[in-house]
Amino acid sequence: MNRVIFALPVFAFAVIALTFVLGLGRDPSNLPSTLIDQPLPSFALPSVFGGEPGLRSRDFRGKPMLLNVFASWCVSCRVEHPILLQLKSQGIAIQGLDWKDSASAGATYLRENGDPYSKVGNDQAGATGIDLGVAGVPETFLVDRFGKVRFKQIGPIGPDDWKKTIGPLMDRLNSAT
């Protein structure tokens, strides 16, 4: 019985130590989104290109789409940009949200680097970003055909992210009736 009482604090310490070690491996900037399984908050943004229809929350209907939040001043966005262009060539619908950026800077960025988006909305003030819970760029939402958010990627989409997580989820949403 004495051995049990001796072992208990050691065991408790081991459990606490394990919890901390596991916790240290997690990324604190990866905040879980409050929008998962919720409809996209309604918004209507002007286009970065002026004279074209902008981006509205109502546009996210009919098929699963990506909503990619980016900015011309964002370095990581340039890292993920080639992947977005590749996804577009594969027929994936991507809508863009130019966050805390002037429309002209956003338009120039897309003209210089290629435009993977069907529509691009300009959120210079950042109000729509706050409604979406955006804390930085890039962030990408996967929205289903009913306008419900199913997944949020914080940070650039790497090839692994698409292959292992977002791609399979998109396939599942596409095949669901």
Instruction: Give the footprint of another protein on this chain (CB under 8 A).
Output: 2, 5, 8-9, 12, 28-29, 31-34, 100, 126-127, 130-133, 135-136
Q: Where are the beta strands (DSSP E) in 10-88?
A: 44-45, 55-56, 65-70
Q: Are the CB atoms for 56 and 43 separated by under 8 Å?
A: yes
Which ranges in 25-140 belong to alpha helices (H)? 75-89, 103-113, 127-132
Q: Could you tell me the smallest distance in angstroms from the CB atom of residue 34 to another protein?
A: 5
Q: Could you tell me the smallest distance in angstroms from the CB atom of residue 4 to another protein?
A: 10
User: Strands 94-99 and 65-70, how do they pair?
Assistant: parallel
Nearer to another protein, 34 or 174 (CB): 34
Task: Note the residue count of the chain.
Answer: 177
- Supply the DSSP symbol for 59: G
Nearer to another protein, 73 or 83 (CB): 73
Nearer to another protein, 5 or 176 (CB): 5
Q: Could you tell me the smallest distance in angstroms from the CB atom of residue 7 to another protein?
A: 11
Q: Could you tell me the smallest distance in angstroms from the CB atom of residue 16 to another protein?
A: 8
